[in-house]
């Protein structure tokens, strides 16, 4: 019976897995996950812990057959093929810069040994690079991209195939590593947990998503981003359950943003660290000792602005942050503290359980005014009015900042206005003054 190595990466599931279907259709399947030292050294504890837990769940779902190896994928995959007698390797396509480079090296290595390397499907409903303008160039703005993305469409979810596993213990496997020390309260791992999360959201909040998604004080978002990041479920499976109501359309659009950012990174891999908008390269940012001290206070949630600090404390406690709050804390770092967006993006990638290089870097660039969005740099979020609008009763900030438990609603987002009764930190900067400073720096850029 022919054997295929199925190289799991960002598809830690058995349902709706196109690569698994392709491998199982040919013969026995050798399930393999390679712990790449590069990922192990660049990922923070929350992401690693969640990965390891999902690997355990995946292994259990296939009866303990998962083969886990640590090392250079180029060498490990060829070695497992030799040990198992596999004639080909099947995996989903990866469109991130490092992933494409790695896969090219693996393909070249396998070709030398006469082993076929087949990439089937991807983590996206529509693969990056497919959606283009009429002249063949990529989109740089989300709205027109989204329209063509929806018009293009995607296949129905793939049925879970019948699989004959040929893996551990016949093929040597390392134990899945123990979770690194992690204080974050992470979501439950595994496909069943992911579907339970989706079904709870679908049945209780999806129909009001357009109204509640920006409110961190209510359970109005799906919280599925960690599962999507590791492919514990596929966005295609979620899209298949949506209708044409406004709320569902807004949720579909949010899934589209994930695919748009992957598309942008595919076409512009330099944007992992560089501004997409080159004109923003000359804007003045602070990197001196004072800037570094302010960065530490931002990281620790000690800026004195409750909505900012609550977001940073939520991040440290859970490995996750509400999306509206992500924009607020990012704007504060870039526009109020005048620090490089790359500092914040790197910190997020260290602490987010859903850390995805395309969504993270381009989400930061959107807020910083250096990325894909048509809105200009002078879009500056006011942390007080944002808190008052999206957390009007202070429920969210009180959850993460217990010192504000008894602060009246009308000053909970600006507790220093309570005068001698202020139970919280004094703001490290004056927002109004720093907003003007940001505008001055932007105007200097415009005339230079």
pLDDT tens track for 262-294: 999 999 999 999 999 999 999 999 999 999 999
pLDDT of residue 447: 59
CA–CA gap between residue 436 and residue 224 (Å, rounded): 38
Q: How far is CA 127 from CA 94, 106, 231, in A?
A: 9, 21, 14
Closest C-alpha to 311, from 413, 209, 433: 413
The per-residue b/e assignment along 373-384, b for 16 or more CB within 10 angstroms, e otherwise, is beeebeebbbbb
Between 306-318 and 289-300, two packed helices, what is the crossing angle to 10 degrees?
70
In which residue are the tokens 């040994």 written? 113
User: Which residue segments constitute the domains of the chain, with CATH numbers given?
Assistant: 3-122 (3.40.50.620), 124-158+191-267 (1.25.40.80), 278-447 (1.10.579.10)
Angle at the Cα of 355 from the Cα atoms of 217 and 428, rounded to 5 degrees: 60
Q: Decide: 448 and 282 in contact? Cβ < 8 Å.
A: yes
CB neighbourhood size of 39 (10 A): 14
pLDDT of residue 446: 65
Cβ neighbours for 191, distance < 8 A, ≥ 6 positions apart: 13, 14, 15, 57, 58, 61, 232, 233
CA–CA gap between residue 119 and residue 215 (Å, rounded): 40
Q: Decide: 266 and 361 in contact? Cβ < 8 Å.
A: no
3-state secondary structure 269-292: HHHHCCCCCHHHHHCCCCCCHHHH
β-pair partners for 88: 4, 116
Cβ neighbours for 255, distance < 8 A, ≥ 6 positions apart: 125, 235, 238, 239
Q: Determine phi and psi for 271, rounding to 5 degrees.
A: -75, 0
pLDDT of residue 435: 96
Q: Take residue 222 and report the two structure tokens written for it.
A: 């799906």
pLDDT of residue 374: 60
pLDDT of residue 444: 87
CA–CA gap between residue 358 and residue 346 (Å, rounded): 12
pLDDT of residue 2: 87
pLDDT of residue 55: 98
Between 383-390 and 323-331, two packed helices, what is the crossing angle to 10 degrees?
170
Angle at the Cα of 144 from the Cα atoms of 322 and 223, rounded to 5 degrees: 20
In which residue are the tokens 């996750």 written? 320
Question: CB-based burial of residue 435 (10 Å sphere; 0-12 exposed, 13-18 middle, 19+ buried)?
Answer: middle
Question: CB-based burial of residue 332 (10 Å sphere; 0-12 exposed, 13-18 middle, 19+ buried)?
Answer: buried
CA–CA gap between residue 268 and residue 165 (Å, rounded): 39
The DSSP annotation for 154-167 comes to -PPPPPPPP--B--
* Spans of the chain below 50 pLDDT: none
Q: Decide: 38 and 71 in contact? Cβ < 8 Å.
A: no
Closest C-alpha to 173, from 79, 32, 51: 32
Q: Decide: 387 and 417 in contact? Cβ < 8 Å.
A: no
């Amino acid at each position: 019976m022919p054997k295929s190595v199925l190289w799991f990466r960002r598809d830690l599931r058995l349902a709706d897995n196109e690569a698994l279907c392709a491998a199982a259709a040919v013969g026995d399947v050798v399930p393999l996950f390679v712990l790449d030292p590069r990922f192990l050294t660049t990922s923070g504890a929350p992401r690693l812990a969640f990965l390891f837990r999902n690997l355990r769940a995946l292994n259990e779902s296939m009866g303990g057959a998962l083969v886990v190896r640590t090392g250079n994928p180029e060498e490990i995959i060829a070695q497992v093929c030799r040990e198992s007698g596999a004639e080909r390797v099947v995996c989903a396509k990866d469109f991130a810069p490092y992933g494409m480079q790695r896969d090219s090296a693996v393909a070249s290595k396998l070709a030398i040994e006469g082993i076929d390397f087949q990439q089937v499907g991807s983590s996206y409903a529509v693969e990056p690079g497919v959606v283009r303008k009429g002249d063949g160039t990529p989109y740089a703005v989300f709205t027109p991209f989204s329209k063509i993305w929806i018009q293009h469409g995607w296949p129905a979810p793939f049925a879970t195939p019948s699989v004959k596993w040929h893996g551990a213990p016949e093929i040597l496997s390392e134990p899945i590593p123990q979770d690194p020390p992690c204080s974050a309260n992470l979501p439950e791992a595994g496909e069943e947990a992911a579907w339970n999360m989706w079904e709870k959201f679908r049945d209780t909040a999806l129909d009001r998503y357009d109204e509640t998604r920006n409110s961190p004080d209510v359970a109005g978002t799906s919280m599925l981003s960690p599962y999507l990041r590791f492919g514990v479920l596929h966005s295609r499976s979620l899209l298949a359950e949506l209708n044409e109501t406004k709320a569902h359309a807004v949720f579909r659009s949010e899934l589209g943003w994930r695919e748009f950012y992957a598309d942008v990174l595919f076409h512009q891999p330099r944007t992992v660290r560089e501004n997409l908008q080159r004109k923003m390269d000359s804007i003045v940012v602070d990197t001196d000792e004072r800037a570094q001290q302010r960065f530490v206070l931002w990281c620790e949630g000690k800026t004195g602005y409750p909505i900012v600090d609550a977001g940073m404390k939520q991040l440290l406690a859970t490995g996750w942050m509400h999306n509206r709050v992500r924009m607020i804390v990012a704007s504060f770092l870039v526009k109020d503290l005048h620090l490089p967006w790359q500092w914040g993006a790197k910190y997020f990638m260290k602490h987010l359980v859903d850390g995805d290089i395309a969504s993270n870097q381009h989400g930061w660039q959107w807020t910083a005014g250096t990325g894909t969005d048509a809105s200009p740099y002078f879009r500056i979020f006011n942390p007080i009015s944002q808190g008052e609008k999206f957390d009007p009763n202070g429920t969210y900030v009180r959850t993460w900042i217990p010192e504000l438990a008894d602060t009246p609603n009308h000053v909970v987002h600006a507790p220093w206005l309570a005068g001698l009764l202020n139970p919280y930190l004094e703001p490290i900067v004056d927002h109004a003054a720093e907003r003007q400073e940001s505008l001055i720096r932007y105007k200097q850029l415009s005339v230079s």
